[in-house]
Structure 1
Amino acid sequence: MEGLGDALAASGPDRQEKLEAASNALRDELEQLGTKITALALTLPPASLLGYIWGQAFIKRIQSGLNNDDEGKSPGFELLQLALEYLHAVSSGNNGPFPSGVVDEGKAKELLSLFERTQNEDDAVLLGQQFGQ
């Protein structure tokens, strides 16, 4: 399967077919990813999860200030913002009951890694279209 970049660069009569195939493949991948993110998020206590994500934002800020660069092990602010917005939507769209207690950091890291997968170049194009950017 060709990627979106290849489909955009294509010319000729089959360009539209390639664009549709690439778009459908990306949409399917993002839908599967969204389902995984939602399922995992609903197993974690929302308040503790939000605290964990905010903590990651502060760690990133501290690391970038100390190292004078934006490359650190903590996720970037844009990723954390996406995670917070998505988790807000998941929580708002479900009636509960929600778990309480301390967040499982392993699951929280896995959740952030799923959000990171949405940040690759092809997916970012599709997400931008989905959110009207």
Structure 2
Amino acid sequence: RAISARSRGTPRVANNLLRWVRDYAQVRAEGLIDSVTAGKALAMIEIDDDGLDEMDKRILETVIYKFNGGPVGLSSLAVAVGEDSSSLEEVNEPFLIMQGFLKRTPRGRVAMPSAYQKIGAELPAGGGQGELL
């Protein structure tokens, strides 16, 4: 369950995570895969309980802290996080939108209140940009 919950609903991601957990279990848990082993393996590669990896968190932090919650254009966001804009748009953004952390508007990407909670940032007065748009 730990693997499926963090797989983003994508079989390819689930298979990659399963391979990683299997390798971890062979080296550190005598080949036994249980929820504790899976949790430790996924924590080692910094995938949290919501399936967010380091890049997802960096995107949310960038929108919130560098762009005051948005809106921010895709190109500006890509430069700020040091990633290709097409990778952000095709890999990271759909999951963040689906999970309710980001919203795509005509003016750019906006951090939703759940993103502030996830990052541990204080929500701006008025509920943040996400509530206004």
Q: The TM-score by the shorter chain falls in which range?
A: 0.3 to 0.5
Which protein, 1 or 2, shows the higher relative CO under an 8 Å CA cutoff with sep ≥ 6?
1
TM-score in terms of structure 1 length? 0.35
Q: Which has the higher strand share?
A: 2
Q: Looking at secondary structure, tell me which structure has more helix per residue.
A: 1
* TM-score normalised by the chain length of structure 2: 0.35
Q: Which has the larger radius of gyration?
A: 1
